[in-house]
A and B are shown apart, each in its own frame.
Chain A
Amino acid sequence: MYIYTCSPDYESMLTCIYEAWASGKGHANIKLCVEPVDQYGLFDEYIYVEGNTEKAEKVSRAVWTRISQYLYWEISHALLSFEEDALDTVYRIMILGFHFGPQVTEMIQYKEVVRFREIRKLVSREVCSFQEFMRFYKVQDDVYVAHFEPRSRVIMPVAKYFMDRMPSENWMIIDDTHKEAIIHPKDEDCYMRILTDEELQALSSTESEDYYTRLWRNYFHTMGIRQRENKACQNNHFPLWMRKHATEFKEECE
């Protein structure tokens, strides 16, 4: 088995798909995965692929023009996933896509398609959840900062939602897991920044309590009806791992 590996950014992943495809080793003999590899196989050959803009563009153009824009959109979101087999599944979907055309996502008779849809669903759920559960803290006069720790790299789609929601505020979202931040100055476009460890350290203590955090916490505890208590339902809807930065659960987590 030949295993193609690459770093976990979008361009490298597409280049990796390009190289694997162009190698001519046969789809069944190839596997793709993202660095770091947890456990190396004894009889596998590992080939590391560097990112290359030109090759990545070729792949995206091929999907865009020869299959469909919809599939391109789906693939680009699936590649954000933290699942280990996300890259390999996308590769398999592209093989099926070039063979069957745009309807491939409906053909759940293939187990690759089922897996692809699962991965895609996990990503969109995570995007949705963090749009809901993101909590901003006021740091200076009118700067709002939020930390979150997603599993997948969902900071871009999450930030897009907040650009529409608060176009005339200064805000910043920090992804602690992947050390990325999106900064949105008032009435302007936002930009992304990859944070160094020092920067992350400096930004780590923004979650300070103020008058409204206290009000919110009181409000939250008042709203539950004691006679209808249902913690299982609460945990289903608001998973524990997402509560790390949620103001209303802060005291319970600590």
Chain B
Amino acid sequence: MYEIKTSMTTEEKLEILADAAKYDVACTSSGVDRKGKKGELGNCRAAGVCHTFASDGRCISLLKILMTNHCIYDCKYCINRCSNDVPRAAFTPEEICDLTVEFYKRNYIEGLFLSSGIVKSPGHTMELMCRVLEKLRTEYHFNGYIHIKAIPGVPDELIAKAGYLADRVSINMEFAGDDSLKKFAPNKNFKTIINPMEKISNTIALHRLAIGKDARMERSTGNRYLENSIFNIKRIEEAGEGYKQLPASISSGNLKRAFAPAGQSTQMIIGAGTETDYELLQTTQRLYQDYDLKRVFYSAYVPLNDDPALPAIGTPVPLLREHRLYQADWLLRYYGFRAGELLSEEKPDFNEQLDPKCDWALRHLDIFPVEIMTASFELLLRVPGIGPTGAKRIVSSRRYGSLNYEHLKKMGIVLKRAHYFITCNGKMMYKTPVEENYITRELTVVNRKENWEIVHRNQYEQMSLFDDYKLG
């Protein structure tokens, strides 16, 4: 815990603090469009820019670091918990600013992702983090993307300040339920997570209304044609008494910025707690609807600490489960599905063999096959193998002539999945019965390779005669 070596170089610090931050999933630089300005450095693009891809295939678009990995908390799942004996370091504000600006000029990164362990108290840490951001924005004239992790349990003024300086603010939920949080993160409290989340959400909404935008964040355009979409609820702002919002800007100088224009996000750990997929997905949907979160991230738990309450070190990372949850998350945000349609209390976990959309389609064979030339956009999106882009292409091109399977293939429709569920000019692609058992069997074969790759991606090992055949 004590730093014996006091004169660490920036290089050593970067290695320690980047290593400590890498388990945080969110690294997106998306959600806000901002043009560059003369005299400043940087711009932002709503679609996000990935600058490189690490050996695990995840994109690196922001300089993701902790300000410090000293921490007074003892969360069981965290590598930086105070009871762990790991090398500790802390950046100075100048070091963070220099790194960000120099990396940015060389086009290595799109901005900064700043998180931190808790030093002394949450408030003190948050204040230090705000100081870094303020320096970066005012002294270094940095106009790029900044994502800041807000720390639960800090005064509202500090969260407000972070929001005015950063583009995205996020507070990690970690677990979908209060019980798991109490068990694994005894120093954290569910209320201190949800409360600021609500306040941030309301403040963003008010800021958006003030500049003539809709109170809700922008979503994929397809959603406006989907009646069932989770985002089709009007948000009515009544800024009266009892309306929780953050105080007005207290940032110094003449820095005028919108409040967290890229919205807020959160992250949940998969596989450490006892939540079912259904609970996680319901929570996700509620977060999108009630707090208008831009993204909910899932992080498959990588066992790092030896703790009896957690999966043992060496337990395979639940990558397939994480993959299924992301698939479902996409179905909520782009396809007009609701959590209740995909899972239920009776069937609380995802099918390992089939993706959630195929699984849903097989339970609703009564509406299939659908006719490509006449089906609505909403119905097309429900067909496995047809995504938002494919559905849009079908709808726009069928106006000018009839389509056949060759055209669909050229449009990027995945026919190996879709052909069981569609007809083109009244004909199916092959003679296939629309029968649950048959299609399930066929689709399982289609998905098998993909699933196997996700699960066994990095479990190659040297074959050993003695271990594998128990000859020793």
Complex partner residue of B41 from A138, A163, A169, A229, CB under 8 angstroms: A169
Q: A187-B38, A220-B60 are in contact. Are A233 and B14 (CB under 8 A)?
A: no
Q: Quick check: A215 and B10 within 8 Å, CB to CB?
A: yes
Q: Mark B45-74, 1 if CB is under 8 A from A, else 0.
A: 000011111111111100110000000000
Q: A247-B108, A248-B52 are in contact. Are A164 and B458 (CB under 8 A)?
A: no
| A213-254 contacts to B (CB < 8 Å) | 213-216, 218-234, 236-238, 246-248
A24-32, A37-45, A60-68, A129-137: which lies at the interface: A129-137
Q: Quick check: A225 and B106 within 8 Å, CB to CB?
A: no
Q: Quick check: B53 and A237 within 8 Å, CB to CB?
A: yes
Q: Quick check: A234 and B54 within 8 Å, CB to CB?
A: yes
What residues of chain B lie closer than 8 Å to A146, measured between beta carbons? 107
What residues of chain B lie closer than 8 Å to A224, measured between beta carbons? 22, 54-56, 58
Q: Quick check: A246 and B43 within 8 Å, CB to CB?
A: no
Q: Quick check: B393 and A108 within 8 Å, CB to CB?
A: yes
Q: Quick check: A168 and B40 within 8 Å, CB to CB?
A: yes
Task: Please give the distance in Å from B437's CB to the nearest CB on chain A.
Answer: 33
Q: Quick check: B60 and A223 within 8 Å, CB to CB?
A: yes
Complex partner residue of A216 from B22, B54, B103, CB under 8 angstroms: B103
Q: Quick check: B49 and A247 within 8 Å, CB to CB?
A: no
Complex CA gap A118/B250 in Å reads: 51
What residues of chain B lie closer than 8 Å to A168, measured between beta carbons? 38-41
Complex CA gap A233/B393 in Å reads: 27
Q: A135-B108, A216-B108 are in contact. Are A109 and B302 (CB under 8 A)?
A: no
Q: Mark A189-231, 1 if CB is under 8 A from B, else 0.
A: 0000000000000000000000011111011111111111111
Complex CA gap A117/B316 in Å reads: 43
Q: Quick check: B53 and A233 within 8 Å, CB to CB?
A: yes
Q: Mark A102-114, 1 if CB is under 8 A from B, else 0.
A: 0100111100001
| A167 at interface, CB cutoff 8 A | yes
Q: A136-B106, A144-B105, A222-B18 are in contact. Are A167 and B53 (CB under 8 A)?
A: no
What residues of chain A lie closer than 8 Å to B274, measured between beta carbons? none
Question: Who on chain A is nearest to B395 by CB?
Answer: A106
Q: Quick check: A222 and B38 within 8 Å, CB to CB?
A: no
Task: Please give the distance in Å from B456's CB to the nearest CB on chain A.
Answer: 11
Q: Quick check: B36 and A132 within 8 Å, CB to CB?
A: no
Complex CA gap A219/B11 in Å reads: 9
Q: Quick check: B56 and A230 within 8 Å, CB to CB?
A: yes
Q: Quick check: B400 and A103 within 8 Å, CB to CB?
A: yes
Number of interface residues of B (CB under 8 A): 55
Q: A107-B401, A167-B38, A168-B39 are in contact. Are A225 and B105 (CB under 8 A)?
A: no
Q: Quick check: A214 and B407 within 8 Å, CB to CB?
A: no
Q: Quick check: B106 and A132 within 8 Å, CB to CB?
A: no
Complex partner residue of B457 from A167, A219, A223, A229, CB under 8 angstroms: A229
Question: Who on chain A is nearest to B16 by CB?
Answer: A222
Task: Please give the distance in Å from A251's CB to the nearest CB on chain B.
Answer: 14
Q: Mark B381-407, 1 if CB is under 8 A from A, else 0.
A: 000000000000100110111110001
| A165 at interface, CB cutoff 8 A | yes
| B61-104 contacts to A (CB < 8 Å) | 63-64, 99, 102-103
Q: Quick check: B41 and A234 within 8 Å, CB to CB?
A: no
| A166 at interface, CB cutoff 8 A | yes
Q: Quick check: A228 and B407 within 8 Å, CB to CB?
A: no
Q: Quick check: A238 and B403 within 8 Å, CB to CB?
A: no
Complex CA gap A166/B19 in Å reads: 29
Q: Quick check: B40 and A247 within 8 Å, CB to CB?
A: no
Complex CA gap A233/B103 in Å reads: 24
| B265-304 contacts to A (CB < 8 Å) | 300, 302
Q: Quick check: B14 and A219 within 8 Å, CB to CB?
A: yes
Q: Quick check: A225 and B108 within 8 Å, CB to CB?
A: no
What residues of chain A lie closer than 8 Å to B10, measured between beta carbons? 215
| B319 at interface, CB cutoff 8 A | yes
Q: A109-B397, A228-B317, A229-B55 are in contact. Are A137 and B106 (CB under 8 A)?
A: yes
Complex CA gap A237/B393 in Å reads: 24
| A145-192 contacts to B (CB < 8 Å) | 146, 162-169, 187
What residues of chain A lie closer than 8 Å to B18, measured between beta carbons? 219, 222-223
Q: A109-B400, A167-B37 are in contact. Are A138 and B106 (CB under 8 A)?
A: yes
Q: Mark B105-138, 1 if CB is under 8 A from A, else 0.
A: 1111000000000000000000000000000000
Question: Who on chain B is nearest to A134 by CB?
Answer: B107
| B5-29 contacts to A (CB < 8 Å) | 10-11, 14-15, 18-19, 22-23
Task: Please give the distance in Å from B403's CB to the nearest CB on chain A.
Answer: 7
Task: Please give the distance in Å from B80's CB to the nearest CB on chain A.
Answer: 15
Q: Quick check: A106 and B397 within 8 Å, CB to CB?
A: yes
Complex partner residue of A109 from B36, B54, B401, CB under 8 angstroms: B401
List the interface of chain A (C-beta within 8 A of B). Answer: 100, 103, 106-109, 114, 131-138, 144, 146, 162-169, 187, 212-216, 218-234, 236-238, 246-248
12 additional A-B pairs beyond A219-B18, A237-B53, beta carbons within 8 Å, are A108-B397, A135-B107, A167-B36, A212-B102, A222-B14, A224-B22, A224-B55, A228-B302, A230-B55, A231-B55, A231-B57, A248-B52
* The 7 A-B residue pairs with the shortest CB-CB distance in the complex, in nearest-first order: A233-B57, A224-B55, A230-B57, A224-B54, A228-B56, A164-B36, A237-B53
